[in-house]
Amino acid sequence: MRPTLPPGPPVTFKARLHDARTATAIGRWLGLAVAVCFATGVLSHVLQHPPGWLADRLPSRPYWGYRLTHGLHVASGTAAIPLLLAKLWAVYPRLFTWPPVRSARHALERMSVAVLVAAAVFQLLTGLLNTFQWYPWPFGFVPVHYAVGWLLAGALLLHLAVQWPKIRDHFTRRSTGTLALPVADGPDRRRLLFGVTAAVGAVTLTTVGQSVTALGPVDLFAPRSPEHGLQGLPVNRTAAAARVTWASLADWRLTVAGPRPYTLTLDELRALPQHEVILPIACVEGWSKSARWSGIRVRDLLERAGGGHGSRARVVSLEAEGAYRVMDMGRLYAQDPLTLLALRLNGAVLSLDHGYPARIIAPNRPGVLQTKWVARLEVV
């Protein structure tokens, strides 16, 4: 609904807080946040769903890589929320420009801004709710969030191209020309930008503790605190949710399929050479935490089944259904000495919620691929 506008000359909002300089000053930070969020998001998607030709080339090092990039994804997306609100506030008077459409070109330009705003709001909202594991929509989060990410990137590039003259003037500080940017910043604009900066700082500080454990104490608003959880580690999907019970584990055996298949009991696994690694779980929902794991190297188990150094692995959980029941592991992960079939966590036997009797822990991988309650390993 449009507010009643006085007839006659078009309404203009001359206030400097709604001018091109303010819009650009906020826009460059918003653009930076969106760029970081997009790049790290695409990376996360590729690591989770690699195309066939890439699966064996994905690097398992640095072991903290995914923890860092996905932490940046969630932090930049969170920081973008106050930036987007401020940006929309700075430019909202333009919604009411009169006449609403001046030409075909102008109509297209306005439509592209509508797409940009809708995509940005959609991405930040779905991403934020995903960190709370709350999915109040009928579509699958991952494919839609991924597709709209590309839409947002395209709409943003178009927007930058259309607005290029104003952006250039902003950075060259030209105050003449078509835009007549104000020469100096007044205290009001400085106050606004200070407020926006403070808001970004505040939301970042109070949420980033979900992955930067040193900031755990000020992690007031993140949905997960890495400090809470059995054995010093949060649980994303409990055994109860996966319908894994002690009874279903009564005659558990690990089956290793390959040219020379075999099965092992838990006692036999415990008798094999054990290795200890310190590796993080970096959940796609935003939290991450490092832990001390011990167990058997996956490459040793594969080799014993006749898998050569080029072999990759498929891991199957005894969980009956669930998106993460079957997991494929490219060659560099499968052969990395840090990749374990872990039996112990932080010095104790794995709890049922953390994947007892055996789970995967591998470097530089999304948490969703750290399969719990492993029943079967296949040489591929």
User: Contact residues for Mo ion (CB under 5 A)?
Assistant: 236, 283, 367-368
Kind of pairing, strands 374-379 and 254-257?
Answer: parallel
Q: Which are the contacts of 76, defined by CB distance < 8 A and separation ≥ 6?
A: 33, 34, 36, 37, 40
Q: Does 299 bind ligand MTE (CB under 6 A)?
A: no
Among 189, 324, 326, 380, binds ligand MTE (CB under 6 A): 324
Query: For the chain, how many helices (H) and strands (E)?
Result: 11, 10
Between 255 and 290, CB nearer to Mo ion: 290
Between 76 and 317, CB nearer to ligand MTE: 317
Q: Tell me, what DSSP letter sits at residue 255?
A: E
Q: Does 354 bind ligand MTE (CB under 6 A)?
A: yes
Between 33 and 254, CB nearer to ligand MTE: 254
Among 124, 373, 377, 379, binds ligand MTE (CB under 6 A): 373
Instruction: Report the greatest alpha carbon distance in the chain.
Output: 88
Q: Does 283 bind ligand MTE (CB under 6 A)?
A: yes
* Distance from C-alpha of 234 to C-alpha of 250, rounded to nearest angstrom: 26
Between 242 and 283, CB nearer to Mo ion: 283
* Min separation Cβ 324 and ligand MTE, Å: 4
For residue 26, what are the CA distances in angstroms to 86, 91, 265? 7, 11, 60
Do residues 162 and 112 make contact, with C-beta atoms less than 8 angstroms apart? yes
Q: For the chain, what is the radius of gyration of the CA atoms? A: 26
Sign (positive or negative) of CA dihedral 180, 186, 190, 193: negative
* Min separation Cβ 356 and ligand MTE, Å: 10
* Min separation Cβ 78 and Mo ion, Å: 17
The number of residues that bind ligand MTE (CB under 6 A) is 21
Between 38 and 373, CB nearer to ligand MTE: 373
| Segments of 197-271 assigned E as strands | 254-257, 262-264
Taking CB under 6 A as the binding criterion, the range among 15-23, 55-63, 262-270, 322-330 that sits at the site for ligand MTE is: 322-330
Q: Does 281 bind ligand MTE (CB under 6 A)?
A: yes
**Crossing angle of helices 20-48/65-91, nearest 10°?**
150
**Partner from ligand MTE, Mo ion, none binding residue 344, C-beta < 5-8 Å depending on class:** none
Q: Which residue is nearest to ligand MTE (CB)?
A: 367
* Min separation Cβ 353 and ligand MTE, Å: 6
**Partner from ligand MTE, Mo ion, none binding residue 80, C-beta < 5-8 Å depending on class:** none
At residue 365, what are phi and psi to the nearest 5 degrees?
Answer: -135, 150
Q: Does 288 bind ligand MTE (CB under 6 A)?
A: no
Among 40, 69, 123, 370, binds ligand MTE (CB under 6 A): 370
Taking CB under 6 A as the binding criterion, the range among 23-31, 109-117, 219-227, 370-378 that sits at the site for ligand MTE is: 370-378
Binding mask 219-258 vs ligand MTE (x if CB under 6 A, - otherwise)?
--------------xxxxx----x----------------
159: left (phi over 0), alpha (psi -120 to 50) or beta: alpha
291-304 b/e (C-beta count within 10 Å ≥ 16 → b): bebbbbbbbebbbb
Q: Which of these, 252, 274, 275, lies nearest to 263 by C-alpha position?
A: 252
Residues 40-69 that bind ligand MTE (CB under 6 A): none
Q: Which of these, 292, 305, 375, lies nearest to 334 by C-alpha position?
A: 305
Helix, coil or strand: residue 245? coil
* Min separation Cβ 123 and ligand MTE, Å: 21
Q: Which stretches of the chain bind ligand MTE, using CB under 6 A? A: 233-237, 242, 281, 283, 317, 319, 322, 324-325, 354-355, 367-368, 370-373
